[in-house]
Chains A and B, each alone.
Chain A
Amino acid sequence: MKLTKMKLRQFTYSLFALALLFAGCEDEFFLIEDKTEPQIVITGNVRQAPGKAVVNVNQTSTTGGIPVPVRGACVMLFDNEGNSEELEDEGDGLYLSSGTIVPGVPGNAYHIEVQLVTGNTYRSVPDTMPSYKMEDELSWRQDLETSTSDLGIDIQTETLFTEITSSIPSTDEELFIQWVADEVYQFLPTDFPDPFGSIPPPCYVTQPVGAQTIELFTTISFQGNVYNDPTLFSRPVDDSFLTKHIFSVYQLSMSEQSYTYMNDIKVLTENQGSLFDQPPGLALGNIIPDDPNESAQGFFQALLTDTTRFAVFPDQVRNEFRDPCEYNASRPFGDYPQQCLQCLTVPNSSYTRPSYWLTTN
Chain B
Amino acid sequence: MKKLLITFVCLSYNYLLFAQQYSVSGVVTDENNKPVLGAAVAFLGTNKGTTTNNTGEYTLSTTAGTYTLVAQFLGKKDYSAKITLNSNRRINIKLETAAIEMQEVIKTAEREDSRIKSIAGIEKLTFSELENIPLLMGELDVVNSILLLPGVTNVGEGSSGFNVRGGKIDQNLITLDGSEIFNSSHLLGFFSVFNADVVEDFTLYKGYIPSTYGGRLSSVLDVQTKEGNMQSWSTDLSVGFVSSKFLVQGPVISDKLSVMASGRFAYPTWILRQTEDIDIKTSDARFDDQNIILSYQLGERNRIIGSYYRSFDRFKFSDDFQFEWSNQLIKLEWKSAISDHLFNSLRFNSSEYNNDQLDFDVNYSIANGMDFKSVTDHLVYDGLTNNELKVGFDIKHYDQKPEKRIPRGDSGFTELEIEKDEALLSSIFIDNKWGNNAVNISAGIRYNDYRQLGTNRVLQYEEGQTKSELSIIDTTFIENGPVSQYSNLEPRIGINYFPTPNISIKGSYNRVQQFIHLISNTTSAAPTDLWQVSTTHIKPQEVDSYSFGFSFTGTQKRWQNSFDIFYRDIHNIYDYKDFASLLLNGNLETEIVSGQGRAYGFELMFEKKKGNWQGWIGYTWSKSELKMDNPFPQETINQGEWYASNFDQRHNLSIVMNRDAGKNFYFSFNLIFNTGRPFTGVESSYVINNANVPLFSERNKYRIPHYTRVDVGCGFKSIFKKLDDRLNFSIYNLFSRDNAFSIYYRKPNSTAIIPFSYQLTVLGDSFPAFNYQVSFGK
Cβ of B286 within 8 Å of any chain A Cβ, yes or no, is no
Binds B, one of A74-82, A83-91, A265-273: A265-273
Given contacts A26-B760, A28-B757, A67-B685, contact A13 B320 (CB under 8 A): yes
Q: Which A residue sits closest to B683, measured CB to CB?
A: A36
- B693 contacts partner chain A, Cβ-Cβ < 8 Å: yes
Residues of A266-298 at the interface with B, using a CB-CB cut-off of 8 Å, are 267-269, 271-284, 297-298
Instruction: Report whether B285 and A268 are in contact in the complex, using a CB–CB cutoff of 8 Å.
Output: no
Question: Which residues from A are CB-within-8-Å of B524?
Answer: 275
B761's partner among A19, A33, A211, A284 (CB-CB below 8 A) is: A19
Tell me if B66 is interfacial: C-beta within 8 Å of chain A. no
Q: In the complex the two chains form, what is the Cα distance from A12 to B280 in whole Å?
A: 14
- Chain B residues closer than 8 Å to A13, beta-carbon distance: 317, 320-321
Within 8 A of B (CB), among A32-61: 33, 35-36, 38-39, 41, 43, 56, 58, 60-61
Q: Which of B349-387 contact A (CB under 8 A)?
A: 357, 359, 361-362, 364, 366
In the assembled complex, A144 has its CB within 8 A of some CB on chain B: no
A29 to B682, CA, bound (A): 11
Taking Cβ atoms with an 8 Å cutoff, the residues of A that contact B are: 1-4, 6-8, 10-31, 33, 35-36, 38-39, 41, 43, 56, 58, 60-62, 64-67, 150, 152, 178, 180, 208, 211-212, 214, 220-221, 256, 260, 262-265, 267-269, 271-284, 297-299
How far, in whole Å, are A29 and B161 apart by their CA atoms in the complex? 26
Assess the A212–B692 pair: CB atoms within 8 A. Answer: yes
**How far, in angstroms, from A321 to B763 measured CA to CA in the complex?**
49
Shortest Cβ gap from A262 to chain B (Å)? 8
Contact partner of A60 among B157, B278, B685, CB < 8 A? B685
Asked whether A265 lies within 8 Å of B756 as measured between CB atoms, the reply is no
Residues of B within 8 A of A64 (CB): 682-685, 754
B689 lies within 8 A of A19 (CB): no
Going nearest first, the 3 A-B pairs with the smallest beta carbon separation are A281-B578, A273-B745, A23-B765
A279 and B759 contacting across the interface, CB-CB below 8 Å: no
B157, B361, B688, B736: most-surrounded residue (chain A CB, <10 A): B688
Interchain CA distance A299-B688 in the complex, whole Å: 9
- Chain B CB count within 10 A is highest, among A19, A21, A30, A264, for A21
Q: Show 14 residue pairs from A and B whose CB-CB distance is below 8 angstroms, ordered by the A residue.
A: A1-B581, A7-B359, A8-B526, A21-B271, A31-B683, A35-B701, A64-B684, A152-B277, A180-B690, A220-B469, A268-B696, A269-B692, A275-B744, A276-B522
A188 to chain B, nearest CB (A): 25
Tell me the nearest residue of chain B to A292, going by C-beta.
B639
Contact present for B285 and A27 (CB under 8 Å) = no
Query: Measured between alpha carbons, how far is A67 from B688 in the docked complex, in Å?
Result: 11
Say yes or no for B576: interface residue by CB 8 A criterion: yes
The answer on a CB contact under 8 Å between B746 and A272 is yes
B767: A residues at CB distance < 8 A: 22-23
CB neighbours of B745 from chain A (8 A)? 271-274, 280
Closest Cβ–Cβ distance, residue B692 to chain A (whole Å): 7
Cβ of A269: which chain B residues have Cβ within 8 Å of it?
A: 691-694
Name the residue on A nearest B758 (C-beta). A26
B761 touches A24 (CB 8 A): yes
B681 contacts partner chain A, Cβ-Cβ < 8 Å: yes
Residues of B within 8 A of A38 (CB): 684
Which of A14, A30, A65, A299 is within 8 Å of B323, CB to CB? Answer: A14
Q: Is the CB of A273 within 8 A of B755?
A: yes
Q: How far is the CA of A271 from the CA of B685 in the complex (A)?
A: 14
CB-based contact B759/A27 at 8 Å: yes
Which of B576, B754, B763 has its CB near the most chain A CB atoms (within 10 A)?
B763
**Given A31-B757, A221-B469, A278-B580, A10 and B359 contact (CB-CB distance below 8 Å):** yes
Do A15 and B581 touch (CB < 8 A)? no
- Interchain CB contact under 8 A, A280 and B578: yes
B267 to A: closest C-beta gap in Å: 12
Please, how many angstroms separate the alpha-carbon atoms of A64 and B685 in the complex?
Answer: 7
Is the beta-carbon distance between B762 and A12 smaller than 8 angstroms? no
Contact of A276 among B280, B526, B581, B698 (CB under 8 A): B526
6 more CB-based (< 8 A) A-B contacts, given A43-B687, A271-B694, A280-B578: A8-B528, A18-B190, A61-B684, A211-B689, A268-B694, A272-B745
Question: How far is A280 from B579 in the complex, measured between Cα atoms in Å?
Answer: 6
Please determine whether B691 and A298 come into contact, CB atoms closer than 8 angstroms.
no
- Closest residue to B316 on the A side, CB-wise? A14
Q: Is the CB of A284 within 8 A of B633?
A: yes
Q: Does B699 contact A (CB under 8 A)?
A: yes
Tell me which residues from 734 to 778 in chain B have a Cβ below 8 Å from any Cβ of chain A: 736, 738, 740-747, 749, 753-765, 767
Give the shortest distance, in Å, between B513 (CB) and chain A (any CB).
27
Say whether B528 contacts A20, CB under 8 Å: no
Distance of A284 Cα from B637 Cα, bound (Å): 11
Is residue B489 within 8 Å, beta carbon to beta carbon, of the partner chain? no
Shortest Cβ gap from A68 to chain B (Å)? 10
- Cα–Cα distance between A41 and B439 once the two chains are bound (Å): 64
Q: Is the CB of A29 within 8 A of B764?
A: no
Q: Taking the nearest CB of chain B, how far is it from the CB of A148, in angstroms?
A: 9
Whether A7 and B583, one on each chain, are in contact in the complex, defined by CB atoms closer than 8 angstroms, is yes
Please determine whether B317 and A58 come into contact, CB atoms closer than 8 angstroms.
no
B759 in contact with A14 (CB, 8 Å): no
Assess whether B158 is in contact with A15, with CB atoms less than 8 Å apart.
yes
* Contact B268–A58 (Cβ < 8 Å): no
B690 touching A211 by the CB < 8 A rule? yes
Are the CB atoms of A22 and B366 closer together than 8 Å? no
| Interchain CA distance A284-B692 in the complex, whole Å | 16
CB atoms of A24 and B764 under 8 A apart:
yes
Distance, CA A208 to CA B357, complexed state (A): 36
User: Is B744 a contact of A31 with CB atoms below 8 Å?
Assistant: no
B279:A152 contact, CB within 8 angstroms: yes
Q: What 0/1 pattern do residues 666 to 684 of B give for CB contact below 8 A with A?
A: 0000000000000011111
Given A4-B583, A7-B583, do A279 and B521 touch, yes or no (CB 8 Å)? yes
Please tell me if the beta carbons of A25 and B158 are within 8 angstroms of each other in the complex.
no
B283 beta carbon closer than 8 Å to chain A? yes
Residue B12 lies at the interface, judged by CB distance under 8 Å to chain A: no
Q: Is the CB of A27 within 8 A of B280?
A: no
Roughly how many angstroms separate A29 CA and B315 CA in the complex, as a whole number? 28
Q: Is the CB of B763 within 8 A of A273?
A: no
A279 to chain B: closest residue by CB: B521
B689's partner among A1, A3, A180, A278 (CB-CB below 8 A) is: A180
Q: Across the interface, which residues of A come within 8 angstroms of B761, CB to CB? A: 19, 24-27
Any chain A CB within 8 A of the CB of B470?
Answer: yes
A268 touches B693 (CB 8 A): yes
Whether B746 lies near A67 (C-beta < 8 A) is no
Asked if A35 and B697 sit within 8 Å, CB to CB, the answer is: yes
Question: Is B576 touching A279 in the complex (CB atoms < 8 A)?
Answer: yes
List B contacts of A31 (CB < 8 A).
681, 683, 702, 757
Q: How far is the CA of A351 from the CA of B742 in the complex (A)?
A: 49
C-alpha gap A61/B683 in the complex (Å):
9
Partner of A67, one of B579, B687, B763, B764: B687
Minimum CB–CB distance from A8 to chain B (whole Å) comes to 6
Residues of B near A274 (CB, < 8 A) are: 744-746
Chain B residue numbers with a CB within 8 Å of A16 are 760
Min CB distance B296 to A, Å, is 43
Residues on the B chain within 8 Å of A36, using CB: 683-684, 697
Q: Which residues of A contact B187 (CB under 8 A)?
A: 18
B758-A27 in contact (CB<8A):
yes
Residues of the A chain whose Cβ atoms lie less than 8 Å from the Cβ of B18? none
Instruction: Choose one: B278, B633, B689, B738; the contact of A214 (CB below 8 Å).
Output: B689
Q: How far is the CA of A221 from the CA of B470 in the complex (A)?
A: 10
